[in-house]
Amino acid sequence: MKKSFLAIILAMFLFSCSTPENQFEIIGNLPEASDNWVVLAKAVDNDLKTIDSVMVKGGKFYFKGIIDFPEMYYLYFKADDKYLGFFIEPGKMNISGTFDEPIYDGLPIQALYDKLMHDLKSWEGQFEILSAQYREASAKGDLDMQKAIEEKAELIETERNEHIMKFIEENSNSVIAPFLLYNNIHSFDIEKVEAITNVIDSSVHKSVYYTLLNDELEKLLKVSIGRMAPLFSQNDPDGSPVALESFRGKYLLIDFWASWCQPCRLENPNLVANYAKYRTRGFEIFGVSLDRDRAAWLKGIADDNLTWPQVSDLQFWNNEASRLYGVNSIPANFLLDPDGIIIAKGLRGKQLEDKLAEIFP
């Protein structure tokens, strides 16, 4: 009886000293980090929620905690105003290197994510070069060069997105799959996103990213091609409400833009030309501005000679119509048939010209 009692006490002691299965440790050694607070946080509702904070001493810091499912965490170094983002899961993560080139070692999910980030560097470099060229062309007022750079950037972005999609398809059993799909959902064909979401391995369905992905997918499917365009109404420059349904019976291009959006302003001459060509044949444009400055909005309308109906609630990215349509970048547009059915999206330049020529031969 005594031996059995001692065995129980020993087992309890060993259990109390063991490491919980879902415990993580972060062991940091970043020599350039200042001796100040570093905050560990995660994204919640488009904001960062603090998990813990410790002092950095001689570039070294340490965190320990519990995590239920792998997730992207962030470190914010207050004195240096630097952020690092990485996937955390149960186990030990060693962080070294520099702010610009951190080295993450010890956890398999982050190792897989690092591989993708390394592959994407070539495209990131090309974007940086094009951005510099675009700024130079903009300073010179060279609209043709800006347009050419935009077209080249779109081709590079297509290549990059194809690589990301291939990675997702090959790693559908990883939490990285819903994370990437959710964060790039507006860059992919929505039907493709839906198809891949449906085959994501059930082992990652508990992920917060899988939930976010499905919520966003449901919203975007409501404005996919073949669906009835959601109704909305906003005020025009005179303060009078203009309802989407008032355009029934015409082919309608809902154009999301803003006076501060340079690509939008570059696209406006194309809209003006097509409007002049087809407005008497049953084509209309409904401009929805994401401006927040009324004076800037009105000046943009006048300067670009936008003679079609214009509305805005002057709420910037919180514009009710843009949120309803899942718009997260502009210019963005939706082409509706006379019955209010979405028949095309994202038509710019020659794409819009060709589509209208098809409708009005």
**Is there a single domain that holds both residue 78 and residue 145?**
no
Same domain (yes/no): 127, 64: no
pLDDT digits (tens), the chain, 361 positions: 444 555 555 555 444 444 578 999 999 999 999 999 999 999 987 789 999 999 999 999 999 999 999 999 999 999 999 999 999 999 999 999 999 999 999 999 999 999 999 999 988 889 899 889 988 988 888 888 888 898 898 899 999 999 999 999 999 999 999 999 999 998 888 889 999 999 999 999 999 999 999 999 998 999 999 999 999 999 999 999 999 999 999 999 999 999 999 999 999 999 999 999 999 999 999 999 999 999 999 999 999 999 999 999 999 999 999 999 999 899 999 999 999 999 999 999 899 999 999 999 9
64 and 115 share one domain: no
User: Is 4 inside a domain boundary?
Assistant: no
The pair phi, psi for residue 27, each rounded to 5°, is -115, 110
Instruction: Render 127-195 in DSSP notation, one character per residue.
Output: HHHHHHHHHHHHHHT-HHHHHHHHHHHHHHHHHHHHHHHHHHHHTTTSTHHHHHHHHTGGGS-HHHHHH
Q: Which domain holds residue 161?
A: 110-222
Q: Are residues 85 and 98 in the same domain?
A: yes
153 and 34 share a domain?
no
| Residue 134 domain flag | yes
Look at the alpha carbons of 305, 241, 227, 218 in this order and tell me if their dihedral is positive or negative. positive
CA angle 167/211/159 to nearest 5° reads 25
- State the total domains in the chain: 3
Q: Are residues 42 and 125 in the same domain?
A: no
**Residue 187's pLDDT is what?**
86
Does 68 share its domain with 162?
no
Residues 198 and 289 in one domain: no
Torsional sign, CA 299, 290, 126, 77? positive
The reply to whether 266 and 335 lie within a common domain is yes
CATH assignment at residue 278: 3.40.30.10
Residue 353 shares a structural domain with residue 265: yes
Please tell me the pTM assigned to this model. Answer: 0.76
Regarding whether 346 and 288 lie in a shared domain, the answer is yes
pLDDT of the residue at 127: 86
- CATH code assigned at 76: 2.60.40
Cβ atoms 258, 327 nearer than 8 A: no
Q: Report the run of H or E that residue 256 belongs to, with start and end.
A: strand 251-257
- At 157, which amino acid appears? E
- In this structure, the answer to whether residues 178 and 62 fall within a common structural domain is no
Q: Is residue 157 assigned to a domain? A: yes
9 lies in some domain: no
Q: What pLDDT score was predicted for residue 6?
A: 52
Residue after which a domain boundary falls, among 191, 222, 253: 222
Report if residue 1 sits inside a domain: no
51 inside domain: yes
Of the three residues 102, 120, 144, the one that is the final residue of a domain is 102
Query: Is residue 8 in some structural domain?
Result: no
C-alpha distance from residue 89 to each of 105, 174, 176 (Å)? 12, 12, 12
In a domain, 55, yes or no: yes
Q: So what's the pLDDT on residue 139?
A: 86
Q: Of 86, 102, 118, which residue constitutes the final position of a domain?
A: 102
